Amino acid sequence: MAVVNIIENASDADIASWLEQQLAEAFASREGPVTITVPGGSTPFPIMAKLLEAELDWSRLVVWPGDDRVVPEDHEASNTGKLRALFEPRGAEVVTLTIMEQVPHFDLAWLGMGADGHIASLFPNTDPQVDEPRQILRLTPDPLPPEAPFDRISLTIPSLLASDRVVFVIRGEEKRAIFEQAAGGNSDLPVARLLAGATQPVTCFT
């Protein structure tokens, strides 16, 4: 079970500064690419925009969506399309998730969480497993979120846990309560399963 460091009342700028420090340390630790996975949804993109104001060697960064809707990349619901629009002008590479893609070890896995305890597109109905042999899944949430009624493609729990560090950004009291239950081992939601399998540092910004 992970020991979670919860950082209260963090602003987008605070989180962006923390992420900048993590990336700077990874860049300084070795030559070559630094690889991260990031979430979609409304919360992360303003943080990413602030992060991209930093003076880092963005050409060394490889960004993997943690999940995406199965739509064309120019569709408004595409996480990948939004990530490309943000990161590629700064020189970073954004990967398109496909079932056959070979998932790397991540320097950082950044995750969000839904009010039902889902992470990436690993919804409770998909019964995600810590020992899932596949690295990437195509799946259908049930119920389908009305704001995004699409099939999904998602990294699995083992793929997300193949990382040096895990960070969550959790907004709102309802989600905070669900996350704390999961961190305490008091639920079997997807987020709880991931935290139960985590051995690396886990940080949660609220």
Helix axes 79-87, 44-51, angle to 10 degrees: 20
pTM of the complete model beyond 0.85: yes
Which CATH number goes with the domain that contains 98? 3.40.50.1360
Domain that holds residue 81: 4-205
| pLDDT of the residue at 140 | 92
| pLDDT of the residue at 123 | 95
| pLDDT of the residue at 146 | 85
| Residue with token string 């669900």 | 178
| pLDDT of the residue at 142 | 85
| pLDDT of the residue at 148 | 84
- The one-digit pLDDT tens for each residue of the chain (206 residues) are 678 999 999 999 999 999 999 999 999 999 999 999 999 988 999 999 999 999 999 999 999 999 999 999 999 999 999 999 999 999 999 999 998 889 999 999 999 999 999 999 999 999 999 999 999 999 998 888 888 899 999 999 999 999 999 999 999 999 999 999 999 999 999 999 999 999 999 999 99
| pLDDT of the residue at 117 | 96
H or E element in which residue 174 lies: helix 173-183
Strands (E), the chain: 4-7, 34-38, 61-65, 67-69, 93-94, 108-111, 136-139, 152-155, 166-169, 202-205
pLDDT in tens, 50-91: 999 999 999 999 999 999 999 999 999 999 999 999 999 999
Number of domains in the chain: 1
Q: Give the chain's end-to-end CA distance (angstroms, integer).
A: 20
| pLDDT of the residue at 189 | 98
